[in-house]
Amino acid sequence: MQPINDKDNNRNSNAIPRLLLTAASSGSGKTMITCGILKALKNRGLNCAAFKCGPDYIDPMFHRKVLGIDSYNLDTFMCKRTGVRQSLLSHGKNRDICILEGVMGYYDGIAGISKEASAWDVADTTDTPAILILDCKGVSVSAVAVVKGFLEYETEHHIKGVILNRISPMMYARMKQMIEEQLKVRVYGYVPVVSECVLESRYLGLQIPEEVEKIDEKLEHLARVMEDTVDLDGILELARNVSAMQEDTQVKEHLLNLSDTLQKGIRIAVAHDEAFCFIYPDNLEILKKLGAEIVTFSPIHDRSLPENIQGIVLYGGYPELYAKELSENDSMRESICHAVTLGVPCIAECGGFMYLQERLEGSDGKIYDMAGALFGKSYKTEKLRRFGYIILSKGTVFGHNVGNITAHEFHYYESEECGHAFTAKKPMSTRGWECMISTDTILAGYPHIHYMGNPQVAEAFAGACRRYKEKD
């Protein structure tokens, strides 16, 4: 199959070519099929960008590390709708295609009782056509009823097509005919059972790329399969036939006005290795827009923090899996503890928060010494402790009142001291609790924060870094 010409110099620059791949539920093959299609399109020489609906870190890691494709999160709760549109606009310009991967079931949103923050919400916010991936194992005619239900549930459903997963070529021909005859939707192909390409799960989602044996070979094989079984030309045509997205004037002006608060000359050290890999690229880009130079380092492999820094960021990841290695790196632990104690501004989220404390129970059940900049021990529990979106209120960030903060939590670990600086409240619920440690130089706790929806957090952090530099 020959690729169609996707280069259109007359295309409106805001008519971002885009498509959302979604499903009826988790476990339907979204990630596998998304990666396969991205790999096949990249093999054609197309300039692709990937996006993940929701707060998940793992799927974008596959897009970036394995496929070599830029990947970003689109979350209408944490980033708000204006932030989602701005992110897609800024990262989608000059791309041949943007593939958005859904989350859970298409309409599944906040608290399991709302469409807000669902994949549908992202499609509706960005006016993006969606293709429904349907797991056909063990079903036949019933699959038609499932598609019909998705089309009729919401008037503006945005579903333009279907891909059938785990189905034989013979059964596919019959199913395609039934669906297209009975419903106003196009079938864009199928994926047969490809057992060697299954991506296993772990408790925080999928395995990280480094853990999947022969991942490059698996995705190359998957891409070859999809060239034969999926109508990639049709998908490209659908992605190009989209409306122009309107830039949000208020958001655009705010981003442009960041120059008014530039903290020029500050260097921020960001942990990035096997243990600390949960990073939203937009967060780093916003810090750069604020004038920061980002310097990455490894708490596992490097011996000390980078020199001449005015800020430290320890995002989340899997420190419990590397507790022994982190503990054995005495000089790095001492370097971080000394810097934080000295007053270098520090953000520590989830895994980074656990590392900043005194001790950590590793996945092997042993207790290991950590940085010791904060009191307490983090330990594993038998069940999920916190999961889902939260709104943080009644607290300050680096000494500034920044208003409510939208955030997300997902952790099995608990800590002896989670902090009391903020009140966390579940949206659409009366549940709430105190959390996070916040001082003029530290913001630490289990919540993950996306700066696209909370730029005031990044601005407060950059300001603290500037003040430290001026004092130093």
Distances (CA, A) of 459 to 271, 287, 393, 399: 20, 8, 17, 12
Classify residue 142 as exposed, middle or buried by CB count within 10 Å of its CB (0-12, 13-18, 19+). Answer: exposed
* Distance from C-alpha of 339 to C-alpha of 355, rounded to nearest angstrom: 14
Residue of 205, 206, 23 lying closest to 123 (CA atoms):
23
What is the Cα gyration radius of the chain? 23
What distance in Å separates the CA atoms of residue 353 and residue 315, rounded to the nearest whole number?
8
Q: Count the alpha carbons within 13 Å of 237 in the hemisphere toward its beta carbon.
A: 10
Q: Cα–Cα distance between 419 and 424 in angstroms, integer?
A: 11
Task: Give dist(CA 113, CA 63) in Å, integer.
Answer: 30
Q: Determine the residue type at 202.
A: R
Q: How many CA atoms lie within 13 A of 126 on its CB side?
A: 35
Are the CB atoms for 248 and 82 separated by under 8 Å?
Answer: yes
Instruction: Look up residue 293 and give its amino acid.
Output: E
Whether 165 and 191 have beta carbons less than 8 Å apart is answered as yes
| 350 is annotated as an active-site residue | yes
189: left (phi over 0), alpha (psi -120 to 50) or beta: left
Are 286 and 259 spatial neighbours (Cβ–Cβ below 8 Å)?
no
Q: Which of 197, 350, 435, 465 is catalytic?
A: 350
The helix-helix angle for 80-92 and 119-126 (nearest 10°) equals 70
Catalogue the active-site residues: 350
